[in-house]
């Protein structure tokens, strides 16, 4: 849209059609990702016009600033428009216990939703921060109940909640967040911090969690996976029932991402953590008598 429609119109409007101005794809991508935040193209059109006005000034008064250069690269955009207005969340380079990458849908596309979990001395309270809505708070309670029901399989002491409080935080606390699709991400963050096993930093996930550990389908899959690809995520975990929506995804994105279909939280644990938790001995040696 920018190359075929917005840019030619802006060049015509500013009387710059004959100056040989070209935008490399990387320059337009940087404009879109870090200077606009909307579903439409009005802000992008305004930013393109701002760049052209700066170039026009350079062409008329080269001695008072940067010499006129008709080729726009990604590296030149901040010099022309100033500091980037929007910075996107990127996965941590290092895997850390309690830090898990989720995926979120927003009105302007998908985004990476990092969830952090921490333990502090206490008596089993769960604290939630990050301006979470009612549904998301309920997802956190479900995640904790699932963990409590799996203490032996996860290698946790049966009385672990008598000694610690748990804190779940979703950064960018000024932005309201809601919806059930962070359920498996919250559960993974709690399991990771309680077991001390880091979650894979190159993996992101989305899915609603039930008390029995089932992973239910979610909405906005296309936008979420496009965001994962844009942020450099290597693998994603999505609900099995969302497999039918993968056809909506561009072929190059499907090929770049390792997409794992999961139907139960046990599968999420195996794929998301750097190693599986060690069950308590009573669970490993349990037998069934007739």
Per-residue pLDDT reduced to its tens digit, 153-209: 999 998 888 989 999 999 886 678 899 999 999 999 999 999 999 999 999 999 999
pLDDT for residue 283: 47
- pLDDT per position as a tens digit, 7-19: 999 999 988 888 8
pLDDT-derived band of residue 30, with 50, 70 and 90 as boundaries?
Answer: confident
Whether the per-residue pLDDT at 138 is higher than 80: the answer is yes
- pLDDT per position as a tens digit, 264-281: 999 999 999 999 999 977
pLDDT for residue 260: 98
Beta strands in the chain (DSSP E): 22-23, 71-72, 99-106, 109-121, 126-129, 164-169, 203-205, 208-209, 215-216, 235-239, 258-262
% of the chain residues with pLDDT over 70: 91
Which residues participate in catalysis according to the annotation?
181, 224
pTM of the model: 0.78
- pLDDT per position as a tens digit, 237-262: 999 999 999 999 999 999 999 999 99
User: Would you state the structure tokens that stand for residue 127, as one six-digit string?
Assistant: 């604290």
The CA-atom distances, in angstroms, between 98 and each of 48, 166, 189, 193 are 41, 11, 5, 4
pLDDT-derived band of residue 39, with 50, 70 and 90 as boundaries?
Answer: low
Mean pLDDT of the chain: 88
Q: Which of 103-107, 117-121, 195-199, 272-276 has the lowest mean pLDDT?
A: 103-107
SS3 90: coil
Are the C-beta atoms of residues 236 and 205 closer than 8 Å to each other?
A: yes
| Euclidean distance between CA atoms 78 and 138, whole angstroms | 42
Burial class (CB in 10 A: 0-12, 13-18, 19+), 289: exposed
pLDDT for residue 288: 43
Nearest to 104 by CA among 236, 244, 220: 220
């Amino acid at each position: 849209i920018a190359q075929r429609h917005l840019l030619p119109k802006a060049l015509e409007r500013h009387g710059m059609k004959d100056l040989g101005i070209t935008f490399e794809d990387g320059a337009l991508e940087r404009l879109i990702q870090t200077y606009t935040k909307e579903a439409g193209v009005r802000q992008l059109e305004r930013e393109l016009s701002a760049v052209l006005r700066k170039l026009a000034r350079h062409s008329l008064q080269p001695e008072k600033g940067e010499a006129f250069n008709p080729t726009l690269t990604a590296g030149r955009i901040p010099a022309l428009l100033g500091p980037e207005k929007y910075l996107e969340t990127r996965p941590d380079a290092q895997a850390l216990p309690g830090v898990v990458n989720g995926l979120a849908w927003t009105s302007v596309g998908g985004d990476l939703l990092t969830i952090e979990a921490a333990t502090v001395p206490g008596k089993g309270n769960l604290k939630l921060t990050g301006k979470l809505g009612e549904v998301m708070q309920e997802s956190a309670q479900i995640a904790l109940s699932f963990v409590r029901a799996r203490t032996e399989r996860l290698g946790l002491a049966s009385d672990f909640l008598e000694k610690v409080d748990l804190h779940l935080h979703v950064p960018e606390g000024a932005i309201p967040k809601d919806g059930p699709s962070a359920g498996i991400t919250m559960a993974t963050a709690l399991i990771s911090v309680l077991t001390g096993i880091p979650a894979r930093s190159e993996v992101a996930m989305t899915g609603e969690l039930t008390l029995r550990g089932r992973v239910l389908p979610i909405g906005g899959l296309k936008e979420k996976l496009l965001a994962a690809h844009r942020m450099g995520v290597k693998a994603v975990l999505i609900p099995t029932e969302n497999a039918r929506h993968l056809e909506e995804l561009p072929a190059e994105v499907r090929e770049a991402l390792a997409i794992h279909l999961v139907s139960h939280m046990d599968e999420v644990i195996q794929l998301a953590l750097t190693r599986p938790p060690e069950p308590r001995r009573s669970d490993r040696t349990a037998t069934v008598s007739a």
